[in-house]
Structure 1
Amino acid sequence: LYSLDPDNKQLAKKIAKYSKEFGNKSIDYLFYLRLDQPIVHELPSTPSPKIKMALYANREQTPQELQAISFQPSGTATVTDEKLGEVLRVPSYIDKQIVFNPLTGGVDLQNAKGHIEFSAKRPFTISLVHPERTLLIKNAQAENIFSADLSDKELQGELIVVPTSGGFMLVNNVNAEDLIPALLASRVQSITHPAALEAFAVVLRSALLQAAEEQKDRPYFITDNDTDFKFKGINLIFKTLLDASKESAKIRLTQAQAGSYDNCGVLTADQIQNTADKPGYIFSPANVSKYLLSNPPADLYSRPQDPTQWSGIKWMYVYDGKEIQNRIAYKQNIGKLRAIMPTSLTPNGRILSIRFEGSKGSYEAKTPQEAAFILSAGTMRSNLFDIVPLYKGKNIKSVLVRGYDTGFGYGLCLQGADGLAKKGMDYKGIIKYYFPNARILNTTTGTIN
C-alpha cells in the first residue's frame, strides 16, 4: 500500500515500526526480482527505429533519481563519454558499480573493490560491442525505496547514464523490435493463443513507433512504468513471444488509438461488441448497475474457462472513507467526507470525473486517473463502476465500488483477442475487429488499407 500511496502518514509510521522490529533494511520486505548473472546472455537484434525508455519510473511516470546501481554485461561493453569518446572497456560477466557522489555532484564508475575508474558530470553511454549480447542492471538504489519497482532488469541496446542534481537517471536506447517481446511478457500471463499474442504485438509496435514520433525531441519517449508499456526486462521473454513479435511485423496500425487493456465486458468504450447475446436494455449511464449486477453473457469473447477468474470482468471493492478523505487532503482539506458524486460520464457510463463533498468544502477529481487514486490509491481496475457510500451518521464510513472490465475500454482487449483466436480468427482479423476504422499499413508493400 505504501508503494502506491507514499504520502500516507499512517502507513509510513507502520513501516518505521516494522523497521525497528525486523531491522533497518526495509528494502528486504519488498518483492524485488534479484539476478546474479544475465539469464538470456544472447538474443538476435533486429535493426529498427530506436526507442528511448527511461527506467525505474514511479506512478506518475517520473524516472527516479538513483543513488547507485551495479551492471554486468554478457559480452564486452564500452563506456563512452559524449566528449571524450571511449573511456573504458568492461569484460564479460564483470560487475561494475555506478554511484552518485554527493561531494562532487557527479557520478563515479567503480570496480568491485570500490576503486573509481571513471567520473562524470555529463551523460555517458554503456554499449555492447556485439548487439546480440545483453546488459544486466542490478541492485538499483533510490532515496525512497517505495518510489518505483527497483527490481533487476536485463536489457538489450545501450544504457545512457544521465547525472542529475541529486543522483542519476537511466535511459535504455533500444531497437523497437528488440523491446516488443519483453513488453508482451509483462502483460500476457494468461494469454496463450499465438494469434492473440501477434495481435497484441501489432498494437505495441504501433504505440511504440507513435510515441517515438511524438516524443522525438524529449530525452526519453516512454518509461518502463507507462500504462501501455510495462517493462520488467528481457529476462522474462520466451520463444512464443519472439515468434509472435516476428510474425506480427507484417502490419502496423496508423491513425488509431493503439491502446490495450486486459479484460472486456459486453461493450467497449469505442462501441465494439464482445458478444452476440445482447441483453434487452442498452448500455448507458442509467443502466450501468444492471450490467454490474447481471451475469455476463455466455458467449462473451473474454469469458474465462476457469470460473474463479470472473473477477477479471466483474469486480467489487470496499474502500475506507477515512483513507479516501486523507488522499483528498493532499490536494485540499474538505473536512469529513459526506458525499461522492460522478460529475462527468461517457455516453455508456464510464466515469470521467468525480466530486467529493465534505463538511468544509468540496474537491473535484477531473480525470479518471486522479479519481481512481483518490478512491483506491491506484487499485481501481477500470473507470466503469458505480459507487455505494455507506454512512455512519452524516459521514461516509466506507465506499462500496462495483465495477466492470479493466482499463478505459479503448483499443485491444487481451482476453477478448484470446477468445476470438480460439474461435479461429487470425491476428489480422483480430486487429480489424477491435480497430474497425483504423488504417493498416502493410510494412512489406507499403500499402495502406
Structure 2
Amino acid sequence: MKSTIITPLILCVCALTAAAPALNAQENISKIYSDAMAQWLDGRPEDAAGALKYVAYRSSDPAIAVAALKDLVVLLAEGGKNSEALPYLVKGEILSPEDFYMPFEKGWNLLSLEKYQDARAAFQKAQTLTADQGLSSQAGFGMALAEAKLSGPAQALEHLRSIYTRYPYLFSPAAQMISFYLEKTKKRPQALNFIKESLSSDPRNIQAEIDLARLYDKTEFYMAAWQTYYTLYDLDPEEKVFADKTTKLVKHIKGKTENLLYWARMGWPVHTGPVEQGSGPKLKLGLYADKTGVPALVKSFTFISNSDFDIMDARLGLLVAGKRNMQWTIAYNEINRLYDIRDSQGSAARTTANSVRIVTKIPGGVLLLKSPELLPGVHGINRSDKEVAGELLVLAREKGFWLINETPVEPLVSATSASLANRFKLPELLKAMAVTIRTRLTYLAASARHDSREYNICDSAHCMAFPGLQAENEVSAEAARATRGEILHLNDSMAPANFHRACGGLTRSGANDNGKPAARPTPFGIYARGVEGPPDALLCLADDKTESSDVIWTLMLRPEWIESRLNRSYKIGYLTALVPLARETDGRIKSLRAEGTAGTAVIDGAAAVSDVLTAGTLRSTLFSIRPIYSGKLPEFFMLRGIGTGNGEGLCLLGARGMAQKHGSKYLDILAHYFPGYKVKGGQNPAIKKGR
C-alpha cells in the first residue's frame, strides 16, 4: 500500500527536479532579452544584436524566439547587413510560417542584395499572408521597387498607382516614387504633378521639395524653380547647389523678389482698435529670430500704427509724435551709421544714433510691422509682416538694429492659439490651447533661455513661433477671454506646459490616444508602428487620411544630400549606412552613426539628427531607418516615423480630436494630456472647486 502511494510522489518530485533547469534557463533567456533591449536603448546596437542572436537560437519558447528574430532583423537592416539577416529570416519562417513580416523583411533584404526576382517573390508571398490592406500595400511598395529593376519603370508605375489610389498612409512616398519613375521615362510634366501631390500630403518631405525644384527648372518654370530653390536655400544655406541655383535663376525674375516668396505681406492692419492687455506679466519678445533664438539684425522696416504714437529716443526723449494709419519707416544708414526716421511721404523726420521706442498713445494700440529688410546672407527666418501690441524697442546694434516687442502675455495667447489650431475653430480646443500657451509663455519668460538680457523670449520655434496678432479669430479671442488668468501648475510650481503637433498614439507623459495598451519600445515595435496603419480611433488622426503625415510618415531620402551635409564637418565620403544609436526610453533617437567610405561620424542630439537628415524638417525622432542599396551604396534611405514634435505635453491634434469627436471640455483635455497637473487662477467655478 505504501509503495503505491510513494511511487507517484517520487515521480512527481523527479519531474519537478528535471523541469527546474529548463525553467531557470528560460528565466535566463528572458533576462538576456531584457538586457538586449537595454543595450539597444543605450546606443549599443551591435551588442544588442549579439544577445538577440543568442535568445533566438537558445529559447525553447517559440514566441520569444520569433520576437527576438524580429528585433534582430530590424537592427541588421538598419546597419545595412542584409546578407547576415537572411538566415535568421529563414529560421523565422520555420518557427512562424504564417507571419507576414518574415517574407516582407526578406523581400527588403533581397532587394538591397540586387536579387530582384527573389525579392518580388518574397513580397508576393507576404501579400498572401495578410488581409490587411495596409500591410498588403507596404509589400506592394517594395514589389514596385523590385519591378523597376526587373522590368523597368512602367511596371513599377502600375503597382505604385494602385497604392497611391488605395492606401492613404503611403500617399506621399508613392506619389514621390511615381514622379521619380515618370521622370526616368521623360514624362516631366506628369512627374511634376505627382511631386506636387507628394508635397501636398507631406509638406515636410524635403526630398520631394528638392525634386520639385529640379523639375520646375527642367520644365522651364523659372519663377517657381527660383522660389522653390530659395526655400531650400533658406532651410540649408550651406548647400552650394541651392545657393548656385538661386543665384542663377533670379536672373529670370522681374520685380521685387521679396514679394514673391512665402513671406506674408499685409497692406493694412487687421486690428482697427486696441487689444485687451490683461493683467499678466510682461514679456520682451525678440522679433524675427533665427532657430537658435537670436533676433536677426534688421536694416529697415516700415510700420503703421492704429493709434497715434510717439517715437522716444533712449537718451534724448521725444523725437517724433506720429498720427495713426500713416506709414513710417526706420532704416539704418550704413554711410553715417545713424538711424533715419521717415514719414509717410518719405521725408526725413529725424535722425538718431540711439535706440528708439515706439509707444502707442492708447494702451493696447497695435503696430503693423511691414517688409523687414535683414542683412544679406541671413536665412531661415520668416520675414512676414506681423502685428504687435505694447511697445516696440528698436535696439541699436552694429550694422542694424534688433526689434523687441515689450508686451503683456495676454495679447499673444489668442493669436498663437489660432495659428496652431490652423483652420479649426473649436471653442473647447482653443480654450485648452489658451491655457497651455499662456502657461508656456509665462514659464519661458521666467526661464533663462537666451544669452542676451534685452529679451526673454523669441518669436521662433526656439521658444514659441509667434505669427502676429493678425492670426487671431473671434473664437480664439473668446477662448482667451474665457480662460483669462488660468495657468497650469504641478504641485506648487508653474508647469513647463510643453506641446507638440501630433503624438501618433502615446505622449511621453503616458497619455494614450489610441486605446491600445502601451508596450515597452523594441526595435521591431517601433518599426512595425511605422509599417502598420494607425487605428481609426486615434485622436490625432485627420479625417482626410491623405493628410495624416503628422501622425505616420515615410520618407525616401536620396543619400547625396545627407552626404553633402555630413561632409561639411565630418568628411565621411560616400554614405553607406545610418545606424541609430542611443534612444530615449520611449524609443526616440538621441544619436546616430553615419558610416561612409572615408570615415564615420556620430551625430548627437535630436536637432543635429534632424539637420543632417532633412535640413531641420524631420517631423520627429521616433523612426526606423532602412538603406535600400543599388550596388555597394544606398540608392535611398527609407525612414518610417511616428508623430510630429517631441511628444511632450499637449498633443494639439489629439486635443482637437477630443473636442471634435468626443465633445470633451477643455479641463478634461488638459487633465488627459497633463496628468497630475492642476489649473489655477481665473474665474471658472470648476477650477475654484479644485477640479
Same topology, TM > 0.5: yes
Q: Kindly indicate whether the alpha-carbon contact (under 8 Å) linking 2:354 and 2:396 is maintained by their aligned counterparts in 1.
A: yes
2:355 is the counterpart of 1:91: no
Q: How far off its partner does 1:339 sit?
A: 1.5
- How far does the alpha carbon of each residue in 1:297-351 deviate from its partner, in whole angstroms, 9 at most, with x for none? 2321223222222222111111221111111123222221122111111122111
Aligned residue in 2 for 1:245: 480
Measure the CA separation in 2 of the matches of 1:178 and 1:28. Answer: 28
Gaps of 5+ in 2: 1-231
2:295 is the counterpart of 1:60: no
- How far does the alpha carbon of each residue in 1:111-151 deviate from its partner, in whole angstroms, 9 at most, with x for none? 24443322333321101000232111111111236441111
Aligned residue in 2 for 1:73: 305
> Tell me, what secondary structure is at the counterpart of 2:332?
strand
Aligned residue in 1 for 2:394: 161
Measure the CA separation in 2 of the matches of 1:203 and 1:272. Answer: 16
Flag the structure with larger Rg: 2
Paired amino acid for 2:500 = Y
Q: How far off its partner does 1:443 sit?
A: 4.3
The structure with the greater share of residues assigned to strand is 1
Measure the CA separation in 1 of the matches of 2:255 and 2:634. Answer: 37
Aligned residue in 1 for 2:347: 115
Q: Kindly indicate whether the alpha-carbon contact (under 8 Å) linking 1:386 and 1:401 is maintained by their aligned counterparts in 2.
A: yes
* TM-score of the aligned structures, taking structure 1 as reference length: 0.94
2:422 is the counterpart of 1:189: yes
Change (3 A) 1:405 1:228: farther
1:24-43 pair list within 5 angstroms: 25-43=256-274
Change (3 A) 1:103 1:41: same
Moved more, 45-54 or 403-412: 45-54
The alignment of Structure 1 onto Structure 2 pairs a total of residues equal to 448
Q: How far off its partner does 1:93 sit?
A: 1.3
1:94-243 pair list within 5 angstroms: 94-142=326-374, 143-144=376-377, 146-215=379-448, 218-227=453-462, 229-243=464-478
Change (3 A) 1:407 1:356: same
Aligned residue in 2 for 1:301: 539
* TM-score of the aligned structures, taking structure 2 as reference length: 0.62
Q: Kindly indicate whether the alpha-carbon contact (under 8 Å) linking 1:106 and 1:163 is maintained by their aligned counterparts in 2.
A: no
Q: Kindly indicate whether the alpha-carbon contact (under 8 Å) linking 1:325 and 1:337 is maintained by their aligned counterparts in 2.
A: yes
Change (3 A) 1:123 1:249: same
Q: How far off its partner does 1:172 sit?
A: 0.9
User: Which residue among 433, 438, 447 is the counterpart of 2:677?
Assistant: 438
The structure with the greater share of residues assigned to helix is 2
Q: How far off its partner does 1:231 sit?
A: 1.4
Aligned residue in 1 for 2:633: 395
2:617 is the counterpart of 1:382: no
Q: How far off its partner does 1:446 sit?
A: 8.9
- How far does the alpha carbon of each residue in 1:136-169 deviate from its partner, in whole angstroms, 9 at most, with x for none? 1111111236441111111111111012112111
Moved more, 184-193 or 345-354: 184-193
Paired amino acid for 2:457 = I
Moved more, 8-17 or 18-27: 18-27
Q: Kindly indicate whether the alpha-carbon contact (under 8 Å) linking 2:418 and 2:430 is maintained by their aligned counterparts in 1.
A: no
Q: Kindly indicate whether the alpha-carbon contact (under 8 Å) linking 1:157 and 1:175 is maintained by their aligned counterparts in 2.
A: yes
2:572 is the counterpart of 1:334: yes
Q: Kindly indicate whether the alpha-carbon contact (under 8 Å) linking 2:416 and 2:471 is maintained by their aligned counterparts in 1.
A: no
> Tell me, what secondary structure is at the counterpart of 1:312?
coil
Q: Kindly indicate whether the alpha-carbon contact (under 8 Å) linking 1:285 and 1:347 is maintained by their aligned counterparts in 2.
A: no
Question: Percent identity of the aligned residues?
Answer: 29
> Tell me, what secondary structure is at the counterpart of 2:235?
coil
Aligned residue in 2 for 1:260: 499
Aligned residue in 1 for 2:509: 270
Measure the CA separation in 1 of the matches of 2:648 and 2:305. Answer: 39
Measure the CA separation in 1 of the matches of 2:442 and 2:688. Answer: 16
Q: Kindly indicate whether the alpha-carbon contact (under 8 Å) linking 1:256 and 1:435 is maintained by their aligned counterparts in 2.
A: no
Measure the CA separation in 2 of the matches of 1:38 and 1:287. Answer: 51
- How far does the alpha carbon of each residue in 1:211-241 deviate from its partner, in whole angstroms, 9 at most, with x for none? 1111497211222112552212111211101
Paired amino acid for 2:399 = G
